[in-house]
Structure 1
């Protein structure tokens, strides 16, 4: 049986100088990828602002 990849939006992100290294270190401490760290940071920021992000259904 083959696995289906869920479709995700892709977005090229430009970071200010030095941010990549900081995000890389924070993601290492949290035992997750840099992408997961960035998504978690966006989710936290949106929650603080009162914005509800709808997560796609997980299978």
Structure 2
């Protein structure tokens, strides 16, 4: 299993996501924010059951396998 590490670029991506959501009057949990940032940084598809939370993040590829 490959684990993704939080890097400086990840934090920058997370900050951009948070800023964008705050401009829209929305918020996201810290863990979900980091998960989304890592997925974007890795250009990965995020498999999650919480589609509503993550769908607000532009350009994030999401799939629900449930």
Give the TM-score, by structure 1 length: 0.37
Bigger relative contact order (CA 8 A; separation at least 6): 2
TM-score (norm 2): 0.33
